[in-house]
Structure 1
């Protein structure tokens, strides 16, 4: 057991004031938040997530971030959660060490309101609708594309708060290349990763193997034993160009996890710390891009995701849940003098099975569903005017149909400044547990959660520095809540989130400084209370300096206090704010050897992201990477 205390409101104010003070010392920075490149390179950065088509970062009207492989390596992040923590509009709440249950809140929306993709394919569990971050290893990721704000009119259900798309490593340099990374850290942590790529003529092949393990620490602040974690995975991707006419992409990934956790119950419903779980996920995907003519592209894609979880609680079998998702999509993109027109259709089928001593005799009364969506979008750039509009119709065989849309307009005030606005609608489909829970408390009459979002944005981009400001308001209706002795889900709640995001930074030849700050008011409109586990203010500052073969960096993360539920009494409480400092360094010893080390939570700050659950104390890690 490590951290079990909280601090008062003054702690939150002090930590946020420190970040604010650093802002005054920071030159202005990125509108589009491409954090690791020079401004001129920002203009050339291509992202595909916002509208499902390749676009220059500067032409995308949505609020976006692109995190490159270089930044992932430079920050030495251990997980996607660590990489995303406190970035613009993003908060995470992890209930313990690596492998613990984790919630991600984007722009104050619910934890299942952010659509998580890998190479454009959904990876959330079909049962609870949540992405399990232990299945998303950073070792295999080439870049992370983040879109803040609703994208339901492009992707369909679940993208109320935004979209996070992990693009895996595929090989880009001609020839054969390999790298092996070995790292060791506190709490008995060991990480190994091997990456290989081959690019010859029109064929690209890449493979990634990774293994992480840690003794961890006690998840609960009342616990007495460490909760460990282990994950092993492999990814393989193959791409081939058929001349100038078509490109084929194939991928397979599999990850298996083994983890301990606290607060489970044995067959007599006595609380226990002796909790253990195992999980696995396999993702298969294939796509074929065909250039029908110079102005017409067609893309066909298929994907299959299978995940399974099995828990043993207090030495007894607590149950197994497995889910399968099959997807197929067809999209046509037309490039004309009047802009780019995209038309598409996709179909998704989900099924699951479950068994265990706590399930009802009949299990899931319905164990599958399917949804079909038809969508179109139009993107126009004429002189100083930029327009994007999209419309989508979704039909689900369990809860009916939804129509969503979105429109954005921006005007170039000068060659360096842009002012714009957008308005979009979105929805979240009830998950299969909500609809047909095997525990006997499902509600098949649930409606989809619906939302509308309005946003204003201003961007300034110069050669070495950027500045971006976004203001937004999201209204969500029909939020699913759990009522009664059996915690049956019903549509009852409403919420409203108003917020402002500021991005700022500087990219010089040796020094880079990047800052993200978010002010928001996430409100439960029925009670007037602050939404649980979401702060009204949080920020992140990254600073790095390169000197010959050395690099040095620091990150400061801060958050104000949050509303929460007491883990022991189940009454309303508040979790104190915090400020954490991380340090890092690396040394390119020779062209094929690189050493790196980091010190997280330098001052061993004791804080909690979820009431009653510990976070990582001071943590030291170092490693070596060999390039071949």
Structure 2
């Protein structure tokens, strides 16, 4: 206990943020950002260390998954769906249905339920990850109720750039990647390949064995993920650019069995023996920016995204037979296509005006093996306007408004008794208005103040409206959009070229929240626009370059979430308090040492009150450059082998290590 208290007390005094050391090491890495793939309101946003993680930071602390990279930011909490072995995040209390994920501004979230397993999205080929919280650009499109997450790819700036790595994780995991790019002036190409394979994760040594888990190596926790990405671009003029991109992700994973003690959890007596033999995604996209003159331009995004996965439910832990009533093979074969146009004009003095049009069609196709395929199709359209009005040299006003409409084209029901497919009753189109305004004031060169208000919405997903949830729910095709009004006050100050302090106060009021209402019919629930909730909190970050070779960072998040409609039903998965700190020390030019620590308070794991306890983690990393083009990285995560969970019954990994050989010419 004394050890935990000591670590927590040290948090305000330790840490390092490589994002904020942009004048030194990180300035080189951020030059590889594919600017055409960014979605930002003002240019200063891409330097905001409250909301951006760069490739250098992700590499230095071995953040191989997007979810774990995002967890380094204040206001973001690492979460998980234990029963599905999915890694996710919450942004100021909003989940991934309400904070959609994009790749270079193109939506990549799953059409059926709006979620995405961020463990399947590795960071090896990314230049940066941006998070917009509450006040996000209307140019992202619909459903950004609580913000948006944008994964920004790389762009080469030299005739030849390459970097890559080969590494080992514990004694049974391997990783490797390579990125190669070339810029020929008006043409450029960028490609990447990555591979990540783990036979299993390691349980903490003090884990007490249960009926479904004996400790040691976590049963059924294997994973394999590989990704190929390619982009070719043309820049005929300084202000015009055209790029075609392709991404192919292929993954498979096991699903560890519930090991908890919650007697109200059905998985205690009826465990799931699940495996995912494929979780595959393929994306084609075209992005362009055409400048007509110095004041007018048109940006275009066109995309086609395919998602396929298979879920196998087995009889028992041998994962060999599918004969029981609960065993099945579920197949998803989805695709999305769409595009958006953004017309940008500076014709009106002191105004930077953007008019946007978005179209998106989501197609979900599902069936169990031996059953016919059911089809679901949604069309979504958005028209939006956003302006940056510079009132004077210090004061900027940013209003935005959009109209969104979603129409269901196909929705098929299946009767497993009669083996007949029929159409669900048609539902009316669902529409919503979004509006926001931001006021930003430059107090002087080193201090900035901002205040924002945004009203955002989220359309109900196909799963929200049509899923029977394995026989426990009644579909509700007429669900209305959720609504949230988000308020924020933020402040940034720089002192003596050594200290940067950033903070934000936030408050969100939700209405028409989509919640499951029990016993609408005996023993069956239904998703309804039933809920009201309030989220409020503070986030802060302090960066201090103590010496040329020593710097630290600490960030802090506090959030309260209140279920106004039903206070006895708890809001899950988000800790009230998260504190992170990292210290960086380079005793000699070729050696970098990093220590990081993280504290999370307890969180509710179920709506009826099951909690997982607080935890503190300590990690150590080292990187040594052994020649001009090679370095060796090594590290230990969870040094004290803490037995902790994000979801009750699903322990996280115990002490683990990695060793990586890196090669590069672009650093």
With the length of structure 2 as denominator, give the TM-score of the two structures: 0.83
Query: Partner residue of 1:453?
Result: 486
Identify which of 557, 565, 588 aligns with 1:526: 565
Q: Is the 8 A contact 1:185 1:620 kept in 2?
A: yes
Q: How far did 1:125 drift?
A: 0.2
Query: Partner residue of 2:431?
Result: 401
Query: Partner residue of 1:587?
Result: 624
Query: Partner residue of 1:383?
Result: 393
Q: Is the 8 A contact 1:449 1:478 kept in 2?
A: yes
Q: Determine helix, strand or coil for the equivalent of 1:110.
A: coil
Aligned-partner Cα distance in 1 for 2:507–2:37: 19
Identify which of 218, 223, 234 aligns with 2:228: 234
Q: How far did 1:275 drift?
A: 3.3
Q: How far did 1:50 drift?
A: 12
Q: CA, structure 1 residues 480+153, in 2 after alignment: closer, same or farther (shift >3 Å)?
A: same
Q: Is the 8 A contact 1:259 1:278 kept in 2?
A: yes
Identify which of 344, 349, 368 aligns with 1:356: 368
Q: How far did 1:47 drift?
A: 9.8
Query: Partner residue of 2:304?
Result: 304
Query: Higher mean Cα deviation, 140-149 or 520-529?
Result: 520-529
Q: 1:281-300 counterparts in 2 under 5 A? A: 281-300=281-300
Aligned-partner Cα distance in 2 for 1:49–1:288: 7
Identify which of 421, 426, 431 aligns with 2:461: 431
Q: CA, structure 1 residues 76+275, in 2 after alignment: closer, same or farther (shift >3 Å)?
A: closer
Q: CA, structure 1 residues 17+334, in 2 after alignment: closer, same or farther (shift >3 Å)?
A: farther
Q: Is the 8 A contact 2:543 2:554 kept in 1?
A: yes
Does the alignment pair 1:467 with 2:481?
A: no
Aligned-partner Cα distance in 1 for 2:452–2:633: 43
Query: Partner residue of 1:84?
Result: 70
Aligned-partner Cα distance in 2 for 1:589–1:471: 45
Bigger relative CO (Cα 8 Å, ≥ 6 apart): 1
Query: Partner residue of 2:534?
Result: 496
Query: Higher mean Cα deviation, 192-201 or 575-584?
Result: 192-201
Aligned-partner Cα distance in 2 for 1:17–1:412: 39
Q: CA, structure 1 residues 48+400, in 2 after alignment: closer, same or farther (shift >3 Å)?
A: farther
Aligned-partner Cα distance in 1 for 2:255–2:173: 17
Aligned-partner Cα distance in 2 for 1:92–1:369: 30
Query: Partner residue of 2:354?
Result: 342
Aligned-partner Cα distance in 2 for 1:587–1:233: 27
Query: Partner residue of 1:136?
Result: 121
Q: How far did 1:342 drift?
A: 0.7
Q: CA, structure 1 residues 562+182, in 2 after alignment: closer, same or farther (shift >3 Å)?
A: same
Aligned-partner Cα distance in 2 for 1:486–1:139: 44
Q: CA, structure 1 residues 249+59, in 2 after alignment: closer, same or farther (shift >3 Å)?
A: closer
Deviation digits for residues 208-238 of structure 1 (CA, Å, limit 9, x no counterpart): 1111110123899743424200111100011
Query: Partner residue of 2:97?
Result: 112
Q: Is the 8 A contact 1:151 1:160 kept in 2?
A: no
Does the alignment pair 1:618 with 2:655?
A: yes
- Gapped runs of 5+ residues in structure 2? 204-208, 259-268, 315-320, 323-327, 409-428
Does the alignment pair 1:564 with 2:558?
A: no
Does the alignment pair 1:193 with 2:185?
A: no
Q: CA, structure 1 residues 113+19, in 2 after alignment: closer, same or farther (shift >3 Å)?
A: farther
Identify which of 583, 596, 616 aligns with 1:555: 596
- Gapped runs of 5+ residues in structure 1? 1-9
Query: Partner residue of 2:414?
Result: none
Q: Determine helix, strand or coil for the equivalent of 1:435.
A: helix
Q: Is the 8 A contact 1:19 1:540 kept in 2?
A: no
With the length of structure 1 as denominator, give the TM-score of the two structures: 0.88
Aligned-partner Cα distance in 2 for 1:349–1:229: 31
Aligned-partner Cα distance in 1 for 2:202–2:622: 29
Query: Partner residue of 1:57?
Result: 44
Identify which of 85, 88, 94 aligns with 2:80: 94
Q: CA, structure 1 residues 469+150, in 2 after alignment: closer, same or farther (shift >3 Å)?
A: same
Q: Determine helix, strand or coil for the equivalent of 1:281.
A: strand
Aligned-partner Cα distance in 2 for 1:16–1:285: 50
Deviation digits for residues 593-617 of structure 1 (CA, Å, limit 9, x no counterpart): 1110010001111111111101010
Q: CA, structure 1 residues 248+59, in 2 after alignment: closer, same or farther (shift >3 Å)?
A: closer
Q: How far did 1:306 drift?
A: 0.7
Aligned-partner Cα distance in 2 for 1:212–1:280: 14
Deviation digits for residues 11-38 of structure 1 (CA, Å, limit 9, x no counterpart): 9xx8588445431x369x99xx943423
Aligned pairs, how many?
598
Deviation digits for residues 302-336 of structure 1 (CA, Å, limit 9, x no counterpart): 01111111011114342111211111111111125
Q: 1:260-275 counterparts in 2 under 5 A? A: 260-263=254-257, 271-273=271-273, 275=275
